Structure 1
Amino acid sequence: METVLNTPALTRQQRPEDEHLGLPANILYGFQHVLTMYGGIIAVPLIVGQAAGLAPAEIGILIASCLFMGGLATLLQTLGLPFFGCQLPLVQGVSFASVATILAILSAGASLPSVFGAVMAAALLGFLITPVFSRIIRFFPPLVTGSVITTIGLSLMPVAAHWAMGGNAKAPGFGGTANIGLAAATLVIVLLLSKLGNATISRLSILLAMVLGTMIAWGAGMTNFSRVMDGPAFAVPTLFHFGMPEFHPAAILSMFIVILVVLVETSADILAVGDIIKTPIDSRRLGDGLRADMVSSMVAPVFGSFTQSAFAQNVGLVAVTGVKSRYVVATSGIILLVLGLLPVLGRVIAAVPASVLGGAGLVLFGTVAASGIRTLARVDYENNMNLIIVATSVGFGMIPIAAPHFYDHFPAWVATIFHSGISSAAIMAILLNLLFNHLTTGNPDKPSVFAAGTGHDQSATPHADPRTPAKSLAH
């Protein structure tokens, strides 16, 4: 991918994300995206609903609302409207970054309407500052994006491991050989289908492995579909079902910090998927994507949902399958809409064991990390500070992953910003790139201690100026 600031945009016919694969392929690949992110999108309403003391039926409504809103947000992001939507294969859904703040608001004695009001007001503030974020693309050279993409993949590995162990730490058999064995079987199926299948089967390896893994689990008595018909088959989301939003300054301020994190993470995801599918991402396109995120977050509380953002695990699915079409992901948005209207279909997908998701997730999330490493391989490390920037950024991003309670004794706003390894790495990489590559005063001429890590001759031929804005995220 060439310079995002100076290269003319590709025509609509040239853009890889505009490929039309046909309805059957769109449905199959779109369903694969839904399976990949389903566990993540229902986790937030499950956690929030339990914290708010909702009855199981009300939690079910909350889940359906999040699925429905995720579908709307995905369609806006992939198909786009003027000034809204980056038109990239990005699946949108309720952001996990808001969970800690939502729980803090609820624990302070507030109700769900206070949470919804905070989300709406904070998203409006985020919408107003998107022009600032859309202009920061020149501060995202491969040095920064590679560090962030690598951290995205690494930060998702604990999720895959938790799924592989059973997904529920309180359930019997969590971490047992049966769950881990099922995850391993799913992983083996993915690898075999990728190696032995034709191109179509290889691209569908994740979906097929999930189906086969679920069949194995059903045969072994590890899942059942007996409760699929429990509850209504069809339900339309009710506007303001949980009450009209309430606006409290403290709650809005704390949620605005979450919005800043969401903007950083969404920027990273947009740039990451642009790198993976090799399409230029300029400031206009980044701004369109961020505006879609913020508008979706503003509208979400109307349907009973929360902050919306791109799902990093689906970025990994794009990387591992090579399916770049945004129409595939738009189809997954339609499927999410249907799931929000037909809870019975949601209950079918919910029957897929977490261990099966874990086996597939290992490949998906590892692919994201590998994509970041591939981007970092194109960075020039000779006679500059780039190696220490990468080392510090990735290391800083790993802190909340390796030690989830690291920030427990810090002020709440610090924990909110840095509890995510993605936002931690993004913030550190941007700041260090500015400090060392843009504000060069005080830098040593030949910082060979750090450059030596590349194993290259320090007297090599002239290299690119590390301050030069990324020619792109990939070549």
Structure 2
Amino acid sequence: MPVHPVDTRPPIARLFAFGLQHVLIMYTGCVSVPLIFGAAVGLDAPTIAMLICADLLISGVITVVQSLGVGRVIGIRLPIICGGSFSALAPMILIAHQYGMPAVYGSMLVGGLIGIPLAWLFSGFLRYFPPLVTGSVLTVVGMSLIGVAGGLIVGQDATASSFASPTNIGLAALVILVAVAVLCLGRGLWRQLGVLIALVIGVALSIPMGLYDLSAVGTAAWFGIPTPFHFGAPEFPVTAVAAMSIVMVVIFAESTASILALGEITGKPVSRSDLARGLTADGVSGVVGAVFNAFIDTVYANNVGAVATTRIYSRYITAVSGIILISLGLVPKLGAFVAGLPAPVVGGVGLILFAVVAIVGVNTLRTVDLGDPINMTIAATTVGVGLLPTFMPGMFTKFPDSAQIVLGSGITLAALTAFVLNLVLNHTRLGASARSALTTPPNITAHPTGPIVEPHVAS
């Protein structure tokens, strides 16, 4: 019986090379979560460094669990890379300001505990995530993340001297050119490692340009383990717990879209039990992350794009990625070395991979009958609503904090919009009645000069 590509085990050298490629692709996004959170709540540099190590450690553990699985309980056994979710950032920051850090991790702990049994219930809604929903959401995910890549290339601070630097933009353009050349013209292993090759060449060029900052490597420790409950005994304000429970559901919807896309890309269909095991790992990340001061993990869409680009589907490769992430979390000096990667180099590669995610979404929508007005409306509304916060940042800042938890992320809005519209218009009598009215042919009567078409009036 032939082995499915997902279950193949490449030679050790390839395992490490492709595993490292995945880590370099996701690293910036992974460390951005603790960086943004730490700055927003006013933590000092050593504490933020601790959060980064904790985030890498938990991301690595959950990635290994997702890739290899733990019995029939946890882990989907697909080539998945997990990392801190941006969807949880806004509510965590709000909770920190209102209740303090112990409440942040107390509410995350309860949210994770609720999420573990909820994963099996949520997976029962698998049939409500057809290609219409997943394709629309993935399109929004990819297009939204392009702005993240742009921020890495151009810079985030418009007042900084390096903002929109032609040097940085030129370096990113060169990295993109190298990646395109290798991915399109390369053969075999060279083509599959196109992203890593572009990264290596970009880093090599950045060194004489003075863009690769390794100053933090010398002061970083060789070994360190995050202290459990570093901020003190967890606290459980009801509002905060409710908020993080909602976040858990949102992360489930986000991960579901990526997991189903991976199933389609790899040719390995995802069953309800598969999805339940994958989402359970998200819930476990909330529990373990709360203990070790990390973040709730989700499936990283940019690595879904990498799988689609390289066409290397082995889950053992992402398991190696998880081991590398664990090493980075336990050896701060290694983490500092990778953290020094120049932002324009990572942004150049990210631009391609994020766009690939969007194209995967578009390709998924191609399997949907978009000639159907209802399907077209659902897809169009999802993309429009999902991209609105990206093009109009801060549009919900005057809403209550509890509302911002849901409204603050375009990806969250897209997932909720697609799910609700598809449920109402494709799985209820209302939708059936509307579709019947759309498909009923008009009445045609004979007339001496030709047929007269009488408009159909729905009863």
Q: Corresponding residue for 2:293?
A: 304
For residue 78 of structure 1, report the CA deviation from its aligned partner. Answer: 1.0
Within the alignment, does 1:443 sit opposite 2:437 as a pair? no
8 Å CA contact 2:75, 2:277 repeated in 1: yes
Within the alignment, does 1:94 sit opposite 2:84 as a pair? yes
2:259 maps to which of 266, 270, 273 = 270
Amino acid paired to 1:83: V
Matches within 5 A, 1:287-436: 287-436=276-425
8 Å CA contact 1:240, 1:304 repeated in 2: yes
Query: Which secondary structure does the structure 2 equivalent of 1:309 belong to?
Result: strand
For residue 400 of structure 1, report the CA deviation from its aligned partner. Answer: 1.4
Measured against aligned partners, the alpha-carbon deviations of 1:187-208 in whole angstroms (never above 9, x if no partner) come to 0010111233222111111111
Q: Corresponding residue for 2:210?
A: 221
Q: Distance in 1 between matches of 2:382 and 2:216?
A: 46
Instruction: Tell which deviates more after alignment, 221-230 or 28-37.
Output: 221-230
8 Å CA contact 2:374, 2:435 repeated in 1: no
For residue 349 of structure 1, report the CA deviation from its aligned partner. Answer: 0.8
Unaligned runs of 5+ in 1: 1-10, 449-475
8 Å CA contact 1:383, 1:446 repeated in 2: no
Q: Which has the higher helix share?
A: 2
The 1:181/1:131 distance shift into structure 2, 3 A limit, reads same
Amino acid paired to 1:433: N
Q: Distance in 1 between matches of 2:395 and 2:438?
A: 32
For residue 244 of structure 1, report the CA deviation from its aligned partner. Answer: 2.3
Q: Corresponding residue for 2:447?
A: none
8 Å CA contact 2:426, 2:432 repeated in 1: no
Within the alignment, does 1:31 sit opposite 2:20 as a pair? yes
Amino acid paired to 1:342: V
Instruction: Tell which deviates more after alignment, 40-49 or 329-338.
Output: 40-49
8 Å CA contact 1:97, 1:262 repeated in 2: yes
Q: Percent identity?
A: 40
Q: Distance in 1 between matches of 2:277 and 2:158?
A: 40
1:158 maps to which of 137, 147, 150 = 147
Unaligned runs of 5+ in 2: 440-459
Measured against aligned partners, the alpha-carbon deviations of 1:145-189 in whole angstroms (never above 9, x if no partner) come to 111121111111101111111355564312221111111111001
Q: Distance in 2 between matches of 1:52 and 1:114?
A: 13
Q: Corresponding residue for 2:183?
A: 194
Q: Corresponding residue for 2:57?
A: 68
Q: Corresponding residue for 1:232?
A: 221
Amino acid paired to 1:198: R
Matches within 5 A, 1:246-257: 246-257=235-246
For residue 315 of structure 1, report the CA deviation from its aligned partner. Answer: 1.0
Amino acid paired to 1:335: I
Instruction: Tell which deviates more after alignment, 40-49 or 293-302.
Output: 40-49
Q: Corresponding residue for 2:129?
A: 140
Q: Corresponding residue for 1:468?
A: none
2:120 maps to which of 105, 118, 131 = 131
Instruction: Tell which deviates more after alignment, 320-329 or 13-22.
Output: 13-22
Q: Distance in 2 between matches of 1:171 and 1:29?
A: 35
Q: Corresponding residue for 1:279?
A: 268
Within the alignment, does 1:85 sit opposite 2:75 as a pair? yes
The 1:240/1:197 distance shift into structure 2, 3 A limit, reads same
Amino acid paired to 2:434: N
For residue 446 of structure 1, report the CA deviation from its aligned partner. Answer: 6.0
Whose radius of gyration is greater, 1 or 2? 2
8 Å CA contact 2:38, 2:48 repeated in 1: yes
TM-score for the superposition, normalised by structure 2: 0.91
The 1:441/1:371 distance shift into structure 2, 3 A limit, reads closer
